[in-house]
Structure 1
Amino acid sequence: MRRGFAVFVVFLPALLAACAQGTRPVGDLATLSCDAQLAYIDALVAQNGVRNASASPVAGFAYLRANRNSVLLARQLDEDGDGQVDQPDRWRDFIAQMRGLDRDARQSEMANLPVASGISFDQIEACANTMAASLMPDQYPVLSAAVFVPDDYLDFQRIAGLYPITAFAAYFGYEGWKQENFASFEQRSADIAASGPWYDYLVPDQTDDGFSDIARDAFGLLQPTGAELEKLVLAYAPVFRVRTGSESDKVGQPTLPARDALAVVDTDHPNIYYRLSHTYFAGKWRPQIVYEIWFPERPATSRFDILAGHFDALVWRVTLDDDGTPLIGDTIHGCGCYHMFFPSQTLQRITAPEDNDIRETAEMPAGYVDQSILKQPVLWIDETSHYLLKLTDAQADTMAGNMIRQNASLRPVQDLSQLQLQNGQGTASFFDEDGFVPGTERLEWILLWPMGVEKPGAMRQWGHHATAFVGRRHFDEPDLMDRYFTPR
C-alpha cells in the first residue's frame, strides 16, 4: 500500500463526517492518490446507501466490477488452465469489459449521492482508467481469482427449510401452473383477441439493423456505439400487446416522487427499456437484446392472493446469430419467475440434467418458433397476471387494426438506476443496494422461502434474476443456452 493511501485512510472518517454534515472536506481531494480517491468515493457511496448492485466489486481492484460474463471471460483467457494468459490480444478487452461495468455503476452512484462528494466523476474516471491501463497479463492469477459473482440463492434457507422435502411442493405447484397457462399458446389469435380490449405498445419500425457494421472485440463481443445499439434495438423490438382491464395493465415509466419514497409507474408515458447482453453458445459469444416493460401493480384477485403486489414487469430477450438472425427468444417476469424459451427451428433441444428429476428445466410452450416471429414478435400479455399468452408475427399481423395503439419511448435500462426525483431534489435509483425494487415484496415468500430465493416474487435488478425455485439457475448465466440447446 502506498504511503499516501495509508495516510488518507487515517483521515477518511473525518472526511466522511464532513460530507455528512454538508461541509466541504478539509484539503483538496483531487490531489490525493487514485487509490485514495476511489476509496473515498466507495466509502461515501456506502455511507449514503446508494450502491448500484448491477455488478459485483472485484476485490483489490476498486476500478473494476464483474458480472457472470466476466467470470467466463476470465476462464477463456487461460484455456489450458496453466494460470497464464493464452491469448494476450484479449487481455485489454477483458479489462475493458469490467471497466465498463464499473463506469456505468459508479456514474449512477455518484449522481445519486445526496451530498457533494468534492470530486467529479470525470476525475474518478481518469484515475480508474489510469489504474486499469497499468494492469498486465502477468497479474492474471491474482485478478482472475478476484473475479467472482455470488449466486442469488441462500443455502442456509434451503437447509433450514428442509429443501429436499419442501421442493416437491414447489414442483407440483409449478406443474399445475404450466397446465393452466401453456394451453393459450395453442389458441387461435382471433379467439384470444376477442377477449379484449387490447393495447399495443410499440416503437417505430426499423428494417435495417446495421448488424454487420458493428465492431467486435477480441472475444467476439459486440461493441456498438449508442446510435448503433438503438438502431439494433429498434430492428428487433417486439410489440407488447396487453389485454387491459384496469390501470394496472397499462405500461408506463417508473418514477420516484422523492428520495426513499415508494416508486410509482406513470402510465401517461409508456417506456420500453432495453439493454445489450451476450451469451456464449455453440463456441461463440452471441449478442442478446433485452427489452422490459413495467406495470403499476399486479392487482389482487382475492383476499388471499399471495402473488399480488406493487409493480410488475415483463422481460423479453432475443439471442442473435453471427449474421443477426434470431436464434431464440426467452422471457421472465421482473421477479425472475415464469422463465420460458422460444427456440427457432435452427436449434434442437437437448437432454439437460434437470429433465430427469424435479428441477425446473427449459420450458418450450410454443415448441419451435419461426425466425420471422422472433425477428419482430407480437407478445400477447394477459391482464392482471401479465402472463405471456402467445407469440405471433408482427409483419403478418391481421389483428393490429383492432388494437388500441400506444407509441412507446425506447430508453436504455440504465435510466432506472438514475431517476430524476419528482420533487426536484436530485436523482435516485429505482433499485436498492441489494438489487430489489423496494415495496414489491409478495406474500408468496411465506410458502417459497425454503427454496432459497431471497424475497420471492419481488421485482429485481439485472444480474439478480434467479429463475428456478426448484434447482439453481440465473437469467444472465452466459452458458444458459448451451445447457438446453444445440444448433441443428
Structure 2
Amino acid sequence: MRRLTSFLVCLALIAQGCATQTLYPESSLETEDAACLRWLENIDAKLAEHNLEDAGTVRIAGFPHLRIDRFLASLSNRAMTDQNAFAQWLENLRRLDEKARQPEFANLPAVHKSALMSELPQGESFGQGVRRCGKRLANLNLKDPGHQRMLLQRAKVPDAYQTWKRAAGAYALTQYAAAVGIERLHRKLNESFQQPLAQQPVQGRLIQYAAPQTTSLAAADIAAILRPAYDNPLAIPSLPPAQLQRLFERFAPLWEIDTRNDNDKIGAVMLDAEGQPRIDTAKPAVYTRHAFTRWHGKTLLQLVYQIWLPAREKTGLFDLYGGPLDSIIWRVTLSPEGSPIAFDSMHGCGCYYLLFPGPGYRAIAPKDGEEPVLSPMSMPEIPSDKRLLLRLATRTHYLQQLAVVPDSPDHTARRYAWQESEQLRSMPLQDDAWRSLFGADGIINASRRAERFLFWPFGIASPGAMRQWGTHAIAFIGRRHFDDPLLLEKLLARE
C-alpha cells in the first residue's frame, strides 16, 4: 500500500509539473517569479516524499500557491463574472495555501526545513517567503485571462467518497440494507429527545463544562457586528478576531456529560513521544473554527465548536464501533440579522449527523432522495442571558437532549479553555519535532474502528475513524459532506 501511495504521489507531482510548465513557461517569467515557482514546488516535493501533505484544503494542479475548499469552489461562478470578485476569490485561495503551508513546513524534518530556508533572501522568514511568492504568482494569474480560465476550470474539490469501493461492494444493492439500519439508528437516537432533560437516565455522574467567559449579545447587537463585515465584493462576512471571539462566547454551549470514567471526560489533544494522540482530561478544552455556508444567495457565518474525549469505550470483543478517541462537533449558523437559522452536530467521524432548525425554520426531506436526515427538534429562541445545554450520553457520547438554561452554570462546572482547531495541524513532539494530528488523507489512524470492515462498500474511507475538517462524509446513502456550502439549503426551509 505504501509503494502504491508513493507511486500515485509521483504521478500527481509529474502531472502538476507538466501543468505548471504549461502555465508558466520559464522564458516568460521574471527571475524572482521563476525562483518562487521552483521554491514552492520543492516544498511540495519534500512534503510528498514524507507523506506530510495537509488534507484540510485541496491543491490546484498548476497553481502551487493556491488551494481551495468547498465553500470557495461554490463561488467560482460568481468570481467568473466580476473582476473585483475574482481578485478577492483569488486572494482567498492564496491565503488558504499560506495557512496550510505553515503547519506543513513545521512538520518537515529539520534538515529539509534548513535547506528550504536557504533558498530565501537572508532574514526572510518562511511565512514571509510564502506570502511574497504567493502574491507574485497570484499577480500573474490576475493579469492573464488564460490563467483565469484554467484556474476556474480546475477549482474543484473532489468528494470524500471512493467510487471503486461502491462498485466492488455492490452499493446499488447494499444501500437498501443500509436504509433499514439507518432508520433503526434514527429511531434510537430520537428516543432520548422525547424525554425531558430531568428524566434522562444517568449511569454515572453528570459533569458540566462551561466556557471560561461568556458574552451577552442580543440579535440586534450581532447584526450590528455583522453588517460592515459583508462590505466586500464577494459579501463574505469577515470579522476581526476579537469580534469573532465575542460571537463564540455568545453561543458557547454548556456541555453536560454522563460520566462513568475518564473516557467520558473532555480534554486537550496531545501527542505522545511516539506521535500517538492522547487526551489530557486534566485540561478541558473546546476547539473552535469559523466557516461559511451559502443560503439563497447570501453567505452566512458559522461558529464551530469541537470537543475531544479519550475513547468510545468498547463493550466487548465484538463491539465494532468502540475504540480510541472520540469527538463531537457542534455548529451554529447565523443569519445577517444576528439570529441562528440552524444548529447541527456530528461526531468527529462524520457519523450521527443531527439537524436542529432555528426559530422560524423547519427541516425538509432531501429532494435528491438520498439518506434521510434526523432532526429531533426545533430550537426555541435563546435569550442573551441564557445558554444552550448539550447533554451527552456515557460511552457512546450520543447527543441526548438540548435545553435552554440560565447563563450561570453550577458551581461544580469545570471551566474549559478555548483552543484553535488550526493548531491540530502541527503539534509538538519531543526533540523539537512536530506532527499533524491527521494523516495525509485527513484520517487519524489511531482512531480506526472495526466497523470499517463492515461498511467499506459505501465508499467512505475508514468509517468510524476521526478525521480532519474538510474530509467529513456524513451519509452512507448518496454523497453528502458536512462542509458542503449548500447543505442547509437542501435540508432547511422557512416556516
TM bucket normalised to smaller: 0.7 to 0.9
TM-superposed deviation, 1:5: 8.4
Please give the residue correspondences for 1:382-421 in structure 2 after superposition, counting only pairs within 5 Å.
382-395=393-406, 400-401=409-410, 404-421=412-429
Please give the residue correspondences for 1:59-458 in structure 2 after superposition, counting only pairs within 5 Å.
59-77=61-79, 85-116=80-111, 117=113, 118-119=116-117, 120-136=126-142, 138=145, 139-192=147-200, 195-203=203-211, 204-208=213-217, 212-214=224-226, 215-216=229-230, 217-258=232-273, 261-354=275-368, 359-366=370-377, 368-372=378-382, 376-395=387-406, 400-401=409-410, 404-421=412-429, 423-458=430-465
TM-superposed deviation, 1:230: 1.7
TM-superposed deviation, 1:462: 0.4
For 1:94 and 1:31, locate their aligned partners in 2 and report how far apart those are by CA, in whole Å.
Answer: 21
- 1:56-95 Cα shifts (integer Å, max 9, x gaps): 0011111110011121110223xxxxxxx32222112101
For 1:247 and 1:404, locate their aligned partners in 2 and report how far apart those are by CA, in whole Å.
Answer: 17
- 1:16-59 Cα shifts (integer Å, max 9, x gaps): xxxxxxxxxxxxx9997111111111112222222111000011
* Structure 2 counterpart of 1:11: none
* Paired residue type of 2:183: E
TM-superposed deviation, 1:352: 2.5
Q: Which moved more, 1:29-38 or 1:233-242?
A: 29-38
* Structure 2 counterpart of 1:55: 57
SS in 1 for 2:293: strand
- 1:322-363 Cα shifts (integer Å, max 9, x gaps): 022111000000000000100013113344225xx5x32221
TM-superposed deviation, 1:377: 1.6
One of 441, 448, 466 as aligned partner of 2:473:
466
Contact 2:355–2:363 under 8 Å retained in 1: no
Contact 1:5–1:35 under 8 Å retained in 2: no
Given the superposition, is the C-alpha separation of residues 425 and 36 from structure 1 closer, same or farther in structure 2, using an over 3 Å criterion? Answer: same
For 2:160 and 2:152, locate their aligned partners in 1 and report how far apart those are by CA, in whole Å.
Answer: 21
SS in 1 for 2:81: coil
* Paired residue type of 1:347: Y
SS in 2 for 1:33: helix
* Paired residue type of 2:64: A
For 2:250 and 2:94, locate their aligned partners in 1 and report how far apart those are by CA, in whole Å.
Answer: 28
Contact 1:60–1:146 under 8 Å retained in 2: no
For 2:222 and 2:183, locate their aligned partners in 1 and report how far apart those are by CA, in whole Å.
Answer: 42
* Paired residue type of 2:438: F
Q: Which moved more, 1:204-213 or 1:442-451?
A: 204-213
Contact 1:254–1:294 under 8 Å retained in 2: yes
TM-superposed deviation, 1:269: 0.9
Given the superposition, is the C-alpha separation of residues 3 and 333 from structure 1 closer, same or farther in structure 2, using an over 3 Å criterion? Answer: closer
For 1:409 and 1:100, locate their aligned partners in 2 and report how far apart those are by CA, in whole Å.
Answer: 27
TM-superposed deviation, 1:238: 0.9
Q: Which moved more, 1:343-352 or 1:294-303?
A: 343-352
TM-superposed deviation, 1:464: 0.6
SS in 2 for 1:135: helix
- 1:149-196 Cα shifts (integer Å, max 9, x gaps): 110111111111111111122221121112222111121111127555
For 2:26 and 2:95, locate their aligned partners in 1 and report how far apart those are by CA, in whole Å.
Answer: 28
Please give the residue correspondences for 1:13-52 in structure 2 after superposition, counting only pairs within 5 Å.
33-52=35-54
- 1:296-335 Cα shifts (integer Å, max 9, x gaps): 0111012210000110000000100002211100000000
Q: Which moved more, 1:140-149 or 1:185-194?
A: 185-194
Contact 1:282–1:486 under 8 Å retained in 2: no
* Paired residue type of 1:42: D
Note the aligned Cα RMSD (angstroms): 2.4
For 2:362 and 2:246, locate their aligned partners in 1 and report how far apart those are by CA, in whole Å.
Answer: 30
SS in 2 for 1:268: coil
For 1:3 and 1:189, locate their aligned partners in 2 and report how far apart those are by CA, in whole Å.
Answer: 60
SS in 2 for 1:352: coil
Please give the residue correspondences for 1:469-480 in structure 2 after superposition, counting only pairs within 5 Å.
469-480=476-487
* Structure 1 counterpart of 2:121: none
One of 463, 481, 492 as aligned partner of 1:485:
492
TM-superposed deviation, 1:205: 1.2
* Paired residue type of 2:75: L
TM-superposed deviation, 1:379: 0.8
For 2:162 and 2:23, locate their aligned partners in 1 and report how far apart those are by CA, in whole Å.
Answer: 40
For 2:355 and 2:169, locate their aligned partners in 1 and report how far apart those are by CA, in whole Å.
Answer: 30
Matched residue count:
451
For 1:487 and 1:283, locate their aligned partners in 2 and report how far apart those are by CA, in whole Å.
Answer: 15
TM-superposed deviation, 1:231: 1.9
SS in 2 for 1:456: coil
Identity of aligned residues (%): 30
TM-superposed deviation, 1:483: 0.6
- 1:358-379 Cα shifts (integer Å, max 9, x gaps): x32221112x211318984211
TM-superposed deviation, 1:412: 1.2
* Paired residue type of 1:270: P
- Structure 2 unmatched runs, 5+: 1-20, 118-125
TM-superposed deviation, 1:291: 0.6
TM-superposed deviation, 1:474: 0.3
Q: Which moved more, 1:135-144 or 1:311-320?
A: 135-144
* Structure 1 counterpart of 2:17: none
* Structure 1 counterpart of 2:15: none
SS in 2 for 1:142: helix
For 1:396 and 1:265, locate their aligned partners in 2 and report how far apart those are by CA, in whole Å.
Answer: 28
